[in-house]
Structure formats: structure tokens, C-alpha cells
Chain A
Amino acid sequence: MLAKRVIACLDVRDGAVVKGVQFQDLARAGDPAELARRYNAEGIDELVILDVTATIENRRALADTIRRVSAELFIPLAVGGGIRSETDAEAALDAGADKVALNSAAIADPSLVTRLSRRYGSQAVVVAIDAKREDARFAVFSRSGSTQTGRDAVAWARQAADAGAGEILLTSIDRDGTRAGFDCEMTAAVSAAVPIPVIASGGAGTFAHFHDVFTAGRADAALAASVFHFQEHAVAALKSFLHERGVPVRQSSC
């Protein structure tokens, strides 16, 4: 049976892992390669490196981080943040990433999703959507949550899937960093609307939050950062918690 995936996110700035609350107030959390090693040993299913302050100057530092993290890991690795062109995607994939996550660049030019999925396969192309509740809809923001796009998350996810995206990484801006739980309603709405897997992100605080998003939220995968960063063996304990409650998970063989 296909397992629900538990994904650890490493928000990286200048080669170090940081974690923000609602996209601000970044606080350092550690060395990306060391954290990646720890998560792998604990049985994480996948890693995401998010370059939170991507600039042209630190693009080379990002490639080095990808190389260091992927050198000893044999699980899927996605990279996002500042992927604006085919050249950026190529650099990340050549450095050892298996997938690239496109956000603002996909909104500005959805054909980039199509071009990359034709070149590398749709499994290599994740469209990341940052959304916020506004009345009865889920409004999509770009540029790290700073710019209103006028799009609705459900409609944009559908369009991204049609354009060739292999997965959707859906982040709730309202919940990000709050530890108040995933936005299950928004996740379920997007998951029901697209044929491709949806990764829920933003708000993980307790093990029960993961259970909620895998059941009520209909998520195929759930991503978190700080809930794993600051607690040893959290991944294995979370997997046991989910397994005991009937959620199919891959339990570490070691």
C-alpha cells in the first residue's frame, strides 16, 4: 500500500538552516548536511531544501548545499526557492536534486512548468503554492507571501497539473510557523481537485496534526521543519504514532 510521506523541510539561508514564523523572524537551526543525515537515520521519506533568501550571489552556495546534502542520501530531494528559469532548474538537478519546486516563476510563466516537465519528466517538477484564506477562498501569493496574485489555490493547482506539474506543495501562509495545525480544509479542497499528489505544509505542531492532514486533509504527504529540528527521534516517533492509528507509513528498517 502506498505510504503517506513525511517530509522534512530545510529552510536554508547562506548555507545554514533557519526557520521562520509566518515567513519572518528567521532563527538559526543548524547545518543542512548534519540535519539531513539525522533525518535519514530516523526514517524521513523525503527532504526539501528551500532557499529562503535566494539571490544571485548565493546561488553557488545553494548548489554546494545541494551537493553536500545529496552526497550521502539515497532518498528523494527537492529544491525550491529562487528557481526562476530552466538554467536554475538545471543547476539544482545537476547538483543532485531530484525535483525542483517552482513558485513565483510558475505563476509568472506557467509554460516553464511544461518545458521542465518535458525535459526532465513531470516527477521532477513540483509547483509550490503559498495560499492564505480570504473570505471563502484560498488566495495565492507569490514572492515569499508578499504579493497578491489574484489567483485561487484550487484553480491554480489544476492549471499547474495540466501544465505538467508532478506534485503540488501547498503551504498555508496563515498557519506557517504557528504550530496550530495544517489547514486541512484547504488541503482537502486542492487534493480533491487534482489527479497529482499534494504535499501539505504550514502549521505542523503535534503528531495529531499529521494524522488530521492525512485523513481529513486528504494529503498525500506532509511537510514540516521545526517540529523535527528541535526534537530528537521525532520522525520515528511520528511514524509509530501514525502507524498505530491506521495511517500507512514506511517505518524505518534500521
Chain B
Amino acid sequence: MTAPSIAVVDYRAGNLTSVIKGLTAAGSRPFVTADPTAAAGADAVVVPGVGHFAATAAVSEAMRDALRTAVAAGKPLLGVCLGLQFLFDGSEEAREVAGLGLLAGRCYLLQGDVKVPHVGWNTLERRRDSPVLDGVAGEAYVYYTHSYAAPLGDATVASTTHGSTFAGVVERGRVFGVQFHPEKSGEDGLRILRNFVALC
């Protein structure tokens, strides 16, 4: 069986070197693209991203359509960090910019007597089983770096608390999202990427 191809959506939000390296180590053939046709032709799609939610405005309408079509066709989709937030309706960080709306809710600024951005290794609290978390310890540490977060909901598979308790891992059908950086989360992070690749 050949390694599945994974389209990594490029919308100029940050450096993609580490994501590509992680997906490659997880046994897939990732390629960076801003072309909706190329993304639609892949076995699966990853939406990466760091920084401000406004950056997702650069994801073209055609690419948004391609992502929705891929999901409707049952292709696995993984949002990482800002990419997870993009799966939701939108974010308080940039109210004028619409998210994909695959998951209900708006992302919000982390609250409480804690430092924001939330940077470092924090624990995942498992809410239910998910194929992407197969083989990952119940309270695994993963590496976060973000200021805004997605609300808890039916799609929440695991949560993390930093001031607020927010969605760390989401799953709905074949749509997945992780607020942390699996490509920077050591062995557990690689396991999550391998689990995703195994679904492709």
C-alpha cells in the first residue's frame, strides 16, 4: 500500500516545515498547496496555521468549497491549531471573518488568572474515545501555543484547561481538529499524526 497523499492548505499563515516533517514521519506524502483542485485530489487534507484568525480570510472561497466537498465525500480532514479554530463558525479574534462552519460555536480569548498566550506542554483530558487518540495515554502532555480557543461541544474528544477549559481534540465524522501542535508534541504527537494517516 502506498503512502496516502495529504494536501496541506497554504494560506500564508506561518511556517509549514514542521507540519510537513511530522506528516512525512507519520507515513504520508504531504504536499503544500493553495490550489483547490490539487487539494480536492488528495487522499486527505490538513489545514495548518498559526497566528491571527484574520489570516484565514486568505483561504479562498474556492478552497473552502473544495474542503466542504472533500468532507462530504468522506475524506479525512485535520485542522491543526488555527486550523482547528477555522473548522468552527468563527472567532472573537476576527468577527468579520467566517470560519468553515463544520462545527458549531465561536472561538474566544482564554480567560482567567493565567498567562496568555498559553505556551507549553499541557495535559489532555479524555472525554471519549477517538481513533486519532488510539494508543495515546489518558492524560498525555501535548505542546500548545495559542491565545484563542474553541468551545466545548458534542465534537469535543479531549479538553485542556488553562484558565478556561477548551476543546483540545475534536471529531465529527471524518473531520478532526487538534488545538495543540502534534508535530511538536513528541512521541504522543507523532502517534496522533500516524492515527490520522491510518484513516486516509
Set of chain A residues within 8 Å of B185, measured between Cβ atoms: 74-75
The answer on a CB contact under 8 Å between A253 and B137 is yes
On chain B, the residues within 8 Å of A51 by CB distance are none
From 110 to 169 in chain B, residues with beta carbon under 8 angstroms from any chain A beta carbon are: 114-123, 137, 140-141, 143, 145-146, 161-162
What are some 27 contacts across the A-B interface (CB < 8 A)? Answer: A2-B121, A2-B122, A3-B121, A5-B121, A74-B184, A74-B185, A74-B187, A75-B184, A75-B186, A94-B17, A95-B17, A96-B21, A98-B184, A120-B15, A121-B14, A121-B51, A122-B51, A123-B50, A123-B146, A167-B119, A195-B115, A196-B117, A196-B119, A197-B117, A197-B119, A197-B120, A253-B140
Asked, given contacts A74-B25, A74-B190, A254-B187, whether A120 binds B14 with beta carbons under 8 Å apart, the answer is yes
Other A-B pairs, 14, CB within 8 Å; known A94-B17, A121-B13, A197-B117 = A2-B118, A3-B121, A70-B21, A75-B184, A75-B185, A96-B17, A96-B18, A123-B145, A123-B146, A197-B119, A220-B119, A253-B140, A253-B187, A254-B187
B189 located at the interface, meaning its Cβ lies under 8 Å from any Cβ of chain A in the complex: yes
Q: Which residues in B have some Cβ–Cβ distance to A below 8 Å?
A: 13-15, 17-18, 21-22, 25, 50-52, 114-123, 137, 140-141, 143, 145-146, 161-162, 183-190
Q: Which residue of A lies closest to B114 (CB)?
A: A2
In the complex, what residues of A have CB within 8 A of residue B189's CB? 74
Question: A40–B185 Cα gap in the complex (Å)?
Answer: 11
Known: A74-B186, A93-B15, A120-B50. A1 touches B115 (CB 8 A): no
Q: Which among A5, A96, A220, A253 is the interface contact of B115 at CB below 8 angstroms?
A: A220
Q: 7 shortest A-B CB distances, which residue pairs?
A: A121-B51, A121-B50, A250-B141, A123-B145, A250-B121, A3-B121, A93-B15
Majority-rule SS of B interface residues:
mixed
Residue count of chain A within 8 Å CB distance of chain B: 32
CA distance A93 to B50 in the complex (A): 14
Do A166 and B145 contact each other (CB < 8 Å), given the known contacts A196-B115, A197-B115, A197-B120? yes
Cα A220 to Cα B190 in complex, Å, equals 25
- CA distance in complex: A165, B120 (Å): 15
Contact with B along A74-115 (1 / 0, CB 8 A): 111000000000000000011110100000000000000000
Q: Is A221 an interface residue (CB 8 A)?
A: yes
The answer to whether B141 touches A3 (Cβ under 8 A) is yes
CB distance from A39 to the nearest CB of B (A): 12
Q: Does A124 contact B (CB under 8 A)?
A: yes
Q: Once bound together, how far apart are the Cα atoms of A129 and B50, in whole Å? A: 25
| Residues of chain B contacted by A40 (CB below 8 angstroms) | 186
* Docked pose: A37 CA to B141 CA in angstroms: 19
Report chain A residues within 8 Å CB of B141.
3, 250
